[in-house]
């Protein structure tokens, strides 16, 4: 579908849209569980507090009938198919509810041989956006409460899903706040930019929420947890914090699909997605590569070719 | 009743700063409010609950506990001079924060005396404030506190509708603070207090919950709730009552520092043994420990609940795990 041609000038996405998506997800989840197509479905359930939702690993039809989709469905659920979560659901094909940004993570994980397409049943969501942090959660999505990443979303349509829930809908004419912030930081003199990040990282308490929600931080032994010998100071102090965040940004370069979960979950409000985005920009400029747009055999930083440019080796 | 105007409260902070005391209070740091050293009374921000709790005043995110250096053939070890810890006044802590040190004192002065914590505690005065904010994550009433609980504060302030504060010197430390700055306080009837916000979570029967926990170390509830936990430390780090820490030697083998810093039971390696065995090998066992420690183990040992109902973990959890909802569920199950 041509997204541009169908762009209507919506100023808000009403609860009815999310209700329709919810119905479609429930119907599909119930069907694939009933038919034993999948061992479980990773989706969302409503939270206790108004305007919240939590990830859920449902295995029964009864639970599947309670699944929801709303602007509160912020989580990238693909993290539940990696790391320790692999063991939570039984072996077998898994259903997963995925927004466009989550699909990029799934594609990236397939690129890295962490997932096989045939092991997934993807219920794609045509997603107009989700809530930002600290906003009013009224059930209606508007320019005032939409997440910063969603303002510049290029993946409203979940391309490559088994089924799609929802029809095309998106908010019109949103200012690209994150792009503007990135331009502001890029324009800073180096010392000022260094000071900007130093100030942000000084608040880091090393709770590792950024790492734990990241679908691509699936290393069984994180370099930053090692203490014999210690590679990166694990204590929350300026030097180690800086090192950790640089390692994180570099290790995600060419892999991060831009879901911005790291930034969303940071209890100290560190704008981590700016780093991810900057890395993505480098990859685009150097290799004309955008991670997660489609599964590829290997990303540019994950492969070696004999004719690679080696002039950087001095 | 003793009354202090908002201006005089800020003046009091200025005076204490001049007296070379460390004055800490909620202050805007970037886009978040944190408990930070105040350099002037104008910096005090009382309209938001700080993102991290005030426990870090006594139990910092990270602190040096000794340093070592090889000199010739011998290793010279230098202790931290705790007598240099400054006299501290904490301003603006609501009951869910002001109440946490009085919970933590028990474990910090138990079989091993944590001299770092205790020295800071001895040298600090807590000026608590009744909470008139609150949101749907707050549940202090459910765990036995209230927006006007004075216990834990040395001096307790109650916001009044005219912008001033009613003051109650709860302890000798609080009385001494008022006595030393008498001219800033006035006797008076005071205006009406600012009303408190209703809380969504009803009072919990903590005895009943504890009994249920005793009988349900193994229960499907743990998997159902905690299988979505991603194993970060956000809940524990911003909690006023969580107090686990790790110790790391950082530097080289010849010259370095031993540091104590926050740790969290949600981390996969928290109970990883040197043998490689980990008794809490999956996330739901780790999450169970979080609940057990707060509502059973700590009560067994010290007769206190290790939770003040501040709601920070609920607001911060990346996957929306809601401890108040879990407690309500257990409360509903328990006989």
pLDDT tens digits, B21-44 = 999 999 998 889 999 999 999 999
- Which domain covers residue A113, as residue numbers? 12-165
User: Residue A29's pLDDT band (boundaries 50, 70, 90)?
Assistant: very high
What is the count of structural domains for chain A?
A: 2
Residue written as token pair 């041609």: A5
Task: Tell whether A207 is within 8 A of chain B (Cβ).
Answer: yes
Same domain? A236 vs A275: yes
CB contact (8 A) between residue A269 and residue B30: yes
More confident residue, B67 or A170: B67
CB contact under 8 A, A213 and B316: no
Whether A181 and A106 share a structural domain:
no
Q: CA-to-CA distance for A268 and B33, rounded, in angstroms?
A: 9
| Same domain? A184 vs A114 | no
Q: Nearest residue on chain A to B313, judged by CA atoms?
A: A267
Model pLDDT, residue B295: 98
Residues of A in contact with B29 (CB under 8 A): 203
* Claim to verify: residue A189 and residue A121 sit in the same structural domain: no
Task: Tell me the pLDDT band of A2, cut-offs 50, 70 and 90.
Answer: very low
Please indicate, yes or no, whether residues A95 and A23 belong to a single structural domain of this protein: yes
Nearest to B232 among A87, A208, A240 (CB): A208
Please report the pLDDT score of residue A4 as a whole number: 45
What are residue A29's phi and psi, to 5 degrees? -65, -45
Least confident of A121-130, A223-232, B83-92, B137-146: A223-232
A1 pLDDT band (50/70/90 cuts)?
very low
pLDDT at A290 over 80: yes
| Domain presence at residue A137 | yes
Do the chains contact at B136 and A49, CB–CB below 8 Å? yes
Residues from chain A that touch B314, judged by Cβ atoms under 8 A, are: 49
Same domain flag for A231 and A275: yes
Q: Is A70 exposed, middle or buried (0-12, 13-18, 19+ CB in 10 A)?
A: buried
**pLDDT band (50, 70, 90) for residue A310:** confident
B137 and A199 within 8 Å at the Cβ level: the answer is no
Residue contact A207–B233, C-beta within 8 A? yes
End position of a domain, from candidates A165, A194, A209: A165
The mean per-residue pLDDT over the stretch A145-164 comes to 93
Dump pLDDT digits (tens) for B244-258: 999 999 998 899 999
Distances (CA, A) of A186 to A47, A191, A198, A279, B285: 39, 12, 15, 12, 45
Residues B69-80 as b/e (b if ≥16 CB within 10 A, e otherwise) read: eeeeeeeeeeeb
Residue B334 has pLDDT above 80, yes or no: no
pTM of the model: 0.94
| Between B178 and A157, the higher pLDDT residue | B178
**Are A182 and A267 members of one domain?**
yes
Q: Nearest residue of A to residue B283 by CA position?
A: A84
* CA–CA min distance B27, chain A (Å): 13
- Does residue A269 fall inside a structural domain? yes
One domain, residues A132 and A218: no
Burial pattern A181-203, b for ≥16 Cβ within 10 A else e, equals ebeebeeeeeeeeeeebeebbbb
Q: What is the pLDDT of residues A199-224, one digit of tens each?
A: 999 999 999 999 999 999 999 888 88
- Is there a domain that residue A314 lies in? no
Q: What is the pLDDT of residue A8?
A: 58
pLDDT at residue A303 in the model? 83
- Calculate the CA dihedral of residues A122, A123, A127, A129 and round it to 10 degrees: -70
B13 to chain A, closest Cα gap in Å: 24
Residue A132 shares a structural domain with residue A187: no
In a domain, A3, yes or no: no
B→A interface, C-beta within 8 Å:
29-32, 34, 51-52, 61-62, 136-137, 200, 227-228, 230-234, 236-238, 246, 248, 250, 259, 261-262, 264, 267-269, 282-283, 314, 316, 318-322, 324-325
Nearest CB to A227; choose among B248, B316, B321 = B248
Residues of chain B with Cβ-Cβ distance to A86 below 8 Å are: none
A129 and A95 share one domain = yes
Out of A168-172, A299-303, B98-102, give the one with best mean pLDDT: B98-102
Residue range B106-121: average pLDDT?
96
Place of tokens 């009085």: B102
What pLDDT shows up at residue A312? 82
- Residue with more model confidence, A241 or A227: A241
How big is chain B, counted in residues? 335
Considering the domain architecture, whether residues A17 and A161 belong to the same structural domain is answered as yes
| pLDDT band with cut points at 50, 70 and 90 for residue A83 | confident
Specify if A309 maps to a domain.
no
Q: For residue A251, is pLDDT > 60?
A: yes
Instruction: State ipTM.
Output: 0.94
Q: Delimit the domains of chain B by residue range.
A: 2-333
Whether residue A182 lies inside any domain: the answer is: yes
pLDDT confidence band for A307 (50 / 70 / 90): confident
Judge if A65 and A128 occupy the same domain.
Answer: yes
* Alpha-carbon span A203 to A210, nearest angstrom: 14
Residue A52 has pLDDT above 80, yes or no: yes
């Amino acid at each position: 579908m041509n997204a541009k041609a169908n762009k209507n000038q919506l100023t808000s996405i009403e609860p009815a849209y999310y209700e329709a998506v919810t119905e479609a997800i429930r119907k599909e989840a119930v069907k694939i569980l009933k038919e034993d197509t999948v061992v479980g479905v990773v989706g969302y359930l409503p939270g206790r507090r108004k305007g919240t939702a939590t990830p859920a690993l449902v295995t029964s039809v009864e639970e599947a009938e309670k699944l929801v989709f709303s602007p509160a469905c912020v989580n990238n659920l693909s993290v539940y198919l990696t790391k320790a979560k692999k063991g939570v659901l039984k072996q077998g094909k898994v259903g997963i509810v995925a927004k466009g940004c989550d699909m990029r993570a799934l594609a990236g994980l397939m690129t890295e041989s962490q997932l096989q397409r045939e092991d997934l049943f993807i219920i794609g969501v045509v997603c107009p956006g989700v809530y930002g942090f600290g906003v009013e959660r009224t059930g209606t999505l508007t320019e005032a409460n939409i997440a910063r990443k969603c303002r510049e979303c290029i993946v409203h349509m979940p391309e490559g899903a088994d089924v799609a829930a929802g029809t095309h809908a998106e908010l019109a004419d949103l200012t690209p706040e994150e792009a503007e912030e990135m331009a502001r930081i890029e324009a800073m003199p180096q010392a000022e930019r260094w000071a900007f990040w130093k100030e942000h990282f000084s608040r880091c308490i090393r709770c590792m929420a950024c790492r734990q929600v990241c679908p691509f931080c699936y290393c069984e032994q994180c370099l930053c947890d090692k203490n014999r010998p210690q590679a990166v100071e694990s204590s929350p102090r300026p030097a180690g914090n800086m090192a950790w965040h640089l390692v994180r940004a570099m290790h995600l370069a060419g892999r991060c699909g831009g879901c911005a979960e790291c930034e969303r979950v940071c209890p100290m409000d560190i704008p981590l997605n700016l780093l991810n985005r900057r890395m993505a920009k480098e990859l685009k400029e150097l290799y004309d590569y955008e991670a997660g747009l489609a599964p590829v055999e290997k990303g540019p930083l994950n492969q070696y070719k004999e004719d690679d440019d080696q002039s950087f080796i001095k | 009743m003793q009354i202090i105007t908002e201006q005089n409260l800020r003046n009091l902070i200025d005076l204490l700063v001049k007296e070379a005391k460390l004055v800490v209070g909620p202050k805007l740091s970037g886009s978040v409010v944190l408990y930070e050293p105040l350099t002037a009374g104008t910096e005090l921000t009382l309209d938001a609950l700080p993102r991290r709790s005030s426990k870090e005043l006594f139990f910092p995110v990270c602190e040096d506990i000794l340093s070592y250096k090889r000199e010739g053939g011998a290793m010279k070890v230098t202790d931290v001079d705790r007598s240099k810890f400054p006299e501290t006044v904490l301003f603006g802590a609501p009951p869910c924060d002001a109440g946490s040190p009085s919970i933590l004192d028990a474990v910090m002065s138990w079989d091993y005396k944590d001299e770092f914590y205790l020295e800071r505690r001895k040298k600090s005065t807590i000026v608590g404030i009744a909470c008139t904010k609150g949101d749907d994550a707050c549940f202090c009433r459910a765990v036995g506190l209230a927006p006007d609980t004075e216990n834990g504060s040395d001096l307790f302030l109650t916001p009044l509708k005219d912008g001033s504060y009613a003051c109650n010197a709860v302890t000798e430390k609080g009385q001494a603070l008022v006595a030393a700055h008498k001219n800033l306080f006035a006797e008076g009837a005071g205006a009406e207090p600012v009303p408190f916000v209703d809380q969504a979570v009803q009072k919990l029967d903590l005895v009943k919950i504890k009994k249920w926990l005793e009988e349900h170390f193994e229960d499907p509830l743990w998997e159902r709730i905690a299988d979505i936990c991603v194993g970060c430390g956000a809940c524990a780090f911003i909690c006023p009552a969580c107090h686990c820490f790790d110790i790391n030697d950082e530097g080289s083998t010849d010259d370095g520092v031993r540091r104590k810093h926050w740790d969290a039971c949600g981390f996969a390696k928290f109970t990883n043994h040197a043998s490689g065995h980990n008794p809490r090998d999956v996330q739901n066992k780790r999450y169970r420990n979080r609940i057990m420690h707060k509502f059973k183990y700590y009560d067994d040992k010290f007769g206190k609940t290790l939770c003040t109902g501040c709601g920070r973990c609920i607001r911060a959890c990346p996957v929306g795990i809601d401890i108040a909802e879990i407690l309500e569920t257990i409360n509903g199950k328990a006989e």
